[in-house]
Chains A and B, each alone.
Chain A
Amino acid sequence: MTLLLRAIVAAEDAHVAADLGLRTVTGARLAALASAWDTTGAATETELLDHHRVIQAVFERVPCLPARFGSVFVDASGLHARLVEREPDLAAALERVGHRCELAITCAWRDQAPIAPNAIMPASSGRAYLERGLARSRTARERQRRAEEIVVRLLGELPVEPAFIRHRTCPRPAVAVSMSALVTRDEIEETSSRIERLGAQLPDVTTVVQGPWAPYTFAVSE
């Protein structure tokens, strides 16, 4: 039977599988929680959301490493072999991040207009085309500089060591900063409040904190 891996938990926590209708493949120290999987057809949005829902249900009960959607194994033997092969790395990762929660912080630009609006010209000529590119380049550099300033402010508010923070500046035109932070369950409320207070002080971005989620960004990849 084909299996879709959902999450990795400590072997002693494998009992949650029964509560959630999941199958268990157990190693020496870890257990892989999986679902029977029909491999025909492309994945749907419903299936992706369901994967997130299952992982969150596991994570709310026990520490876990979420599996990337699409980690499919031909059968339980195949999953077991992979689990045994990677058990040392996975056990270390579970100990390091499994009990922590991920908060996703997004700072979106309030003003989508370019910083130098008078530099944007229709491309009526070759020169106009390049000058439009120059204006875009200057806007991008200014936004990159500002995004890096925002990152510094955010890092100052997060009570988290650097190893538990990942961020990208200007990952998309509408977004200044995309950050993921791993916090303990005790730190969730205070951290969210601090970020939201900081967000109110940043006039050029809208700051949103989402989560807590399972440690997707920080788990070891399959």
Chain B
Amino acid sequence: MTASDPTTTTLELREEIARLRSLLPERVDLDPDNIERGLAGLVLTLVEFLRQVLERQAIHRMEGGTLTDDEVERVGVALMRLEEKIGELAEQFGLDPDDIQLRIGAAS
């Protein structure tokens, strides 16, 4: 992807949004005794999905040479820290990070 290729970028983003829609349940089943955990799982799945989208975009731009060295480093650190934080939050809520990946993978 280059800065002069907005059509490709738009198409890729639309495809990602279509995948995102398939992650969302038609109705939200909330167990009254476990609402926090259920919502946390839903939110973390969405955040992880967006993180993966951003990572793919960043890799695409790094491959295409449209990021400076400084931008590559800053974006990489930000995504790495976000991934770590998602893992920490999943652990705090008793969620298995693999389950989050499975939900995203099932939507592929």
- Separation in Å of the B51 CB from the closest CB of chain A? 11
Among residues of B, the one whose C-beta sits closest to the C-beta of A170 is B108
Interface magnitude class on chain A: 10 to 19
Instruction: Report whether B59 and A129 are in contact in the complex, using a CB–CB cutoff of 8 Å.
Output: no
Q: A residues touching B (Cβ–Cβ < 8 Å)?
A: 123, 125-131, 133-134, 137, 171-172
Q: How far is the CB of B108 from chain A (nearest CB, A)?
A: 9
Residues of A within 8 A of B63 (CB): 134
Q: Which of B4-12, B17-25, B42-50, B73-81 contacts A (4 or more CB under 8 A)?
A: B73-81
With A125-B73, A126-B72 known as contacts, the answer to whether A133 contacts B78 (CB < 8 A) is: no
A190 to B62, CA, bound (A): 50
B74 contact set on A, CB distance < 8 A: 126
Report B69 CB to chain A, min CB distance, Å: 7
Do the beta carbons of A130 and B75 come within 8 Å of each other?
yes
Chain B residues, CB < 8 A from A125: 73, 76-77
Query: B92: shortest Cβ distance to chain A, in Å?
Result: 22
What separation, in Å, do the CA atoms of A78 and B31 have in the docked complex?
Answer: 26
Residue from A128, A137, A171, A172 in contact with B76 in the complex, judged by beta carbons closer than 8 Å: A128
B66 CB → nearest A CB, Å: 13
Give complex CA distance A156, B94 in Å.
46
Cβ of B55 under 8 Å from chain A: yes
A45 vs B76: C-alpha distance when bound (angstroms): 42
Enumerate 17 A-B pairs (CB-CB under 8 Å) in ascending A order.
Answer: A125-B73, A126-B75, A126-B76, A126-B78, A127-B73, A129-B76, A129-B77, A129-B80, A130-B59, A130-B62, A131-B62, A133-B55, A133-B58, A134-B59, A134-B62, A137-B56, A137-B59
